[in-house]
């Protein structure tokens, strides 16, 4: 059986790359680690930009990572239709690279929030959510201080009209994000950014394993479209 091939991008300050490696091994994947100074990807089915604190979050979360050697290759890959997922700090990097609209700013409380969170699946027709049911409520942890998703009104209306909101916070909004947004996809449908950490809720030993649906979705999508 063909395995889904992941390229996992590592920046100085990335700290969730090993979690991604572990989960990829659990769900029919194989991976190549791509250092931020590299200039080329290695024939991936999907690129993952994991969470952490790239470049110590200096200047602005994700801003310095956007100027890394590897970013032009990721942008070219995404613009050609390749699958890219950014988780937490990875989401921030994708907005800085303009692969996703909007920006992530400091939580409304101005405090770091780390907790399990109920997440609602709004759009289950994407490569990253097709293993879920529409409107399914899943339990996925969050851990961030800059998770307030903000976008101007015109852009917000476009997200709604184009069904680009994939995940929302349910029951409570931990950071003040507009419309409780927890994850969005680009207009082409191949680039996802999400603040919750699905890799931290992907096996039974953890409090939740519903995060596995993200990786199962990717594997299902790649098989159907390869």
pLDDT band at 215 (very low <50, low <70, confident <90, very high): very high
Q: Is 151 exposed, middle or buried (0-12, 13-18, 19+ CB in 10 A)?
A: buried
Angle at the Cα of 134 (from 132 to 140), degrees rounded to 5?
A: 55
Question: In DSSP terms, which residues pair with 30 in a beta bridge?
Answer: 5
Whole-angstrom CA distances from 206 to 5, 116, 141 are: 25, 11, 11
Using alpha carbons, select from 135, 86, 142 the residue that is nearest to residue 117: 142
Domains of the chain and CATH, by start:
4-225 (3.40.50.880)
Check if 61 is active-site.
no
The per-residue pLDDT for range 50-98, each reduced to its tens digit, is 999 888 887 788 888 888 999 999 999 999 999 999 999 999 999 999 9
Catalytic residue among 36, 61, 144, 197: 197
114 is catalytic: no
Name the token pair of 66: 């956007």
CA distances from 130 to 70, 90, 192 (A): 29, 21, 13
Whether the CB-CB separation of 116 and 139 falls below 8 Å is answered with yes
Q: What is the mean pLDDT of the chain?
A: 95
Q: Which percentage of the chain shows pLDDT scores above 90?
A: 89
Paired sense of beta strands 83-87 and 103-105, if any: unpaired
Q: Mean pLDDT throughout 136-160?
A: 97
Whole-angstrom distance, CA of residue 170 vs CA of residue 121: 10
pLDDT in tens, 160-184: 999 999 999 999 999 999 999 999 9
Active site residue 199: yes
- The pLDDT of residue 154 is above 80: yes
Q: How many CB atoms lie within 10 A of CB 179?
A: 15
Which one of the listed residues 16, 61, 88, 144 is annotated catalytic? Answer: 88
pLDDT of residue 41: 98
Q: What is the pLDDT of residues 119-133, one digit of tens each?
A: 999 999 999 999 999
Cα–Cα distance for residue pair 9/20, rounded to 1 Å: 10
Does the pTM surpass 0.85? The reply is yes
Q: Report the pLDDT value the prediction gives residue 28, as an integer from 0 to 100.
A: 87
**Beta strands per DSSP E along the chain:** 4-10, 29-35, 46-49, 83-87, 103-105, 113-121, 137-144, 148-150, 165-169, 181-185, 191-194
């Amino acid at each position: 059986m063909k395995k889904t091939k992941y390229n996992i991008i590592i920046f100085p300050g990335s700290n969730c790359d090993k979690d991604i490696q572990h989960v990829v091994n659990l769900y029919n994947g194989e991976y190549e680690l791509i250092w931020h100074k590299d200039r080329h990807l290695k024939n991936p089915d999907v690129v993952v930009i994991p969470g952490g604190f790239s470049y110590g979050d200096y200047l602005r979360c994700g801003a310095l990572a956007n100027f890394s050697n590897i970013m032009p290759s990721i942008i070219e890959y995404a613009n050609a239709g390749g699958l890219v997922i950014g988780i937490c700090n990875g989401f921030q990097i994708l907005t800085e690279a303009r692969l996703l609209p909007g920006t992530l700013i400091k939580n409304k409380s101005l405090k770091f929030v780390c907790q399990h969170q109920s997440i609602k699946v709004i759009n289950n027709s994407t490569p990253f959510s097709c293993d879920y049911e529409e409107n399914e409520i899943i339990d996925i942890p969050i851990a961030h201080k800059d998770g307030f998703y903000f976008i101007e009104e015109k852009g917000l209306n476009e997200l709604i009209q184009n069904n680009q909101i994939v995940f929302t916070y349910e029951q409570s909004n931990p950071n003040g994000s507009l419309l409780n947004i927890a994850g969005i996809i680009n207009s082409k449908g191949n680039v996802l950014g999400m603040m919750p950490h699905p890799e931290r809720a992907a096996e039974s030993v953890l409090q939740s394993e519903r995060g596995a649906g993200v990786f199962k979705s990717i594997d299902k999508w790649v098989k159907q479209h390869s």
